[in-house]
């Protein structure tokens, strides 16, 4: 018999950067999916300087870098849940600063 203890493993993560209250890396749940809005909520929500119309999700897909621009305002104010995409491991969410 062999007994193996896993001290650490490479967790699936997403990064949330920019105008959120707690930028950083967040673990994706094992068997569950995480949406863009759930990741932003884990990062403490938006700062008062966030531009809700130009949030970006950057990901590598089939070896190519892809950027998806999402109008989060349409999710929060109009309830457009189709914009609330499912995140993948290693996605980077960037909430830009609003310029007045």
3-state secondary structure of 50: strand
pTM: 0.84
3-state secondary structure of 30: coil
User: C-alpha angle 29/25/84, rounded to 5°?
Assistant: 60
* HSE (side-chain half, CA atoms, 13 Å) at 83: 18
Task: Look at residue 9 in the predicted model and tell me its pLDDT.
Answer: 60
Task: Look at residue 100 in the predicted model and tell me its pLDDT.
Answer: 66
Going residue by residue through the chain, which has 100 residues, state the pLDDT in tens, using 9 for 90 and above: 888 877 656 678 999 999 999 999 999 887 789 999 999 999 999 999 999 999 999 999 888 999 999 999 999 888 888 889 999 999 999 999 998 6
CA dist 49 and 58 (Å) reads 21
């Amino acid at each position: 018999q062999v007994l193996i203890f896993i001290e650490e493993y490479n967790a699936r993560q997403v990064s949330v950067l920019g105008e959120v209250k707690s930028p950083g890396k967040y673990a994706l749940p094992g068997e569950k999916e995480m949406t863009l809005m759930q990741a932003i909520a884990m990062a403490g929500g938006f700062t008062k300087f966030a531009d809700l119309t130009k949030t970006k999700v950057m990901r590598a897909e089939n070896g190519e870098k892809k950027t998806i621009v999402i109008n989060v305002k349409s999710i929060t104010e109009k309830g457009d849940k189709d914009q609330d995409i499912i995140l993948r491991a290693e996605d980077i969410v960037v909430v830009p600063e609003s310029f007045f």
